[in-house]
Amino acid sequence: MTDVIDREGTATAPAESATPAARRVYVQGSRGDLRVPFREISQAPTPGVSGDSPNKPLRLYDTSGPHGDPDVIVDPERGLPGLRTPWILERGDVETVPGARGAALRARGGAAVTQLHYARQGLITSEMEFIAIREGVEPELVRDEVARGRAIIPANINHPEAEPMIIGTRFLVKVNANIGNSAVLSSIDAEVEKMRWATRWGSDTIMDLSTGKDIHATREWIGATHLFLSELSRSTRRSRRSAGMRTSSRGRSTATRSSSRPSRASITSRSMPACSCATCR
C-alpha cells in the first residue's frame, strides 16, 4: 500500500456518516467545553394493527473523534484541538517547559498530575465526568473505581487532544487496533488513513507497530490527527494489568477476566499511555 493516499482529498475531508440513519450528537456536561459525542441512529417505526408505533433513536458510543463530525474538517498539518487543555491548566499544578518539539507541560513542583491522584483526593475531574456521560454511569463510580486501582484513565497532560476513556471491569469493553508500516510497504499517509478507518468502525485504541522507515514521524502524524496512539511500553503493560490483562513472556497480552458491563455489541464503545518521545517523557 504505497503512494495511494491523497492527503488533500482524503485526510482533510470531513467524515460522512457510516449509515444514512446515523448522525453525530453531543451531550452537554456541567461546563461549556465538556461535550460528549455520540452516534445517534434513527429507527423505523414498528408496524401494528392500529398503526405504526414510533421508536426512539439509539445513542451509541462513538470512537471516531472530530473525524466523525461532518461539520468538522481536520487538517493533518495542524492536528487536533486541545480538548482538555483548559481542564489541565485550570487545576494549576502544571508548568510549561521547553520540549524537543516546542513547549511541553510538566508537573509543577513535583505535584502528581494523574487521574489516579485526583481520584484519591476525592476530586471528580472533568475527564471523569466526560467518561461517566459516555459510559452511562455516575461520576462517583468512575472516581471510586480509579481510586481503588480497579480502573485506569490514560490522560497524558501533553496529549490534551485525547478524549477521556476508561479501562476497567465495571465499564464497557474497549477495542484495540494494531496498524503499522513495514520495511517495504506503506507510507505515513497510508497509516493515517488506516487510523481513520479503524476508529470510524469502533476502535478505542490505536497501537502503532511500524517496523519500516520514519517510525517516529509516522507516530507523530497518527497522534496529531487522532486521539489515541498506544505504544508497547512499561506504561502499556501497567495499564493492561490494571484492566485485568497479563503480558506473556513473548509480550502478548491475554485477558484474565472479562468486563461485567455489556460489550459494545449491544452498546457501541477508547487509551493512550504516555508517548515515548522526548517531549512526553
pLDDT per residue over 123-178, tens digit each?
999 999 999 999 999 999 999 999 999 999 999 999 898 899 999 999 999 988 88
Identify the residue whose cell numbers are 520540549: 99
Give the per-residue pLDDT at 16.
52
Give the per-residue pLDDT at 225.
52
**Residue 95 covered by a domain:** yes
C-alpha 38, offset from chain centre? 13
**Residue 127 covered by a domain:** yes
How many Å apart are CA 91 and CA 197, to the nearest integer?
35
pLDDT tens digits, one per residue of 178-189: 887 777 776 777
Residues 6+ apart with CB under 8 A from 114: 155
Q: Mean pLDDT throughout 34-60?
A: 93
DSSP code for 8:
I
Give the per-residue pLDDT at 236.
40
Give the per-residue pLDDT at 159.
87
Task: Please list, residue by residue across 210-236, b when 16 or more beta carbons sit within 10 angstroms of its beta carbon and e when fewer do.
Answer: beeeeeeebbbbbbbbbbbbbbeeebb
**Residue 164 covered by a domain:** yes
CA atoms within 13 A on the CB side of 113: 22
Into how many domains does the chain fold?
1
Cell of 32: 461549556
**Residue 99 covered by a domain:** yes
Comparing C-alpha atoms, which of 143, 87, 85 is closest to residue 117? Answer: 143
User: Would the pLDDT of 72 be above 60?
Assistant: yes
Cell of 96: 510549561
How many Å apart are CA 108 and CA 110, to the nearest integer?
6
**Residue 48 covered by a domain:** no
**Residue 270 covered by a domain:** no
The model's confidence at residue 272, banded by pLDDT at 50, 70 and 90, is very low
Give the per-residue pLDDT at 93.
96
CA distances from 209 to 21, 40, 233 (A): 35, 33, 12
User: Would the pLDDT of 104 be above 60?
Assistant: yes
Full-model pTM = 0.70
DSSP code for 65:
G
How many Å apart are CA 82 and CA 155, to the nearest integer?
12
pLDDT tens digits, one per residue of 217-236: 766 666 655 554 443 333 34
Q: Which domain holds residue 106?
A: 85-255
The model's confidence at residue 267, banded by pLDDT at 50, 70 and 90, is very low
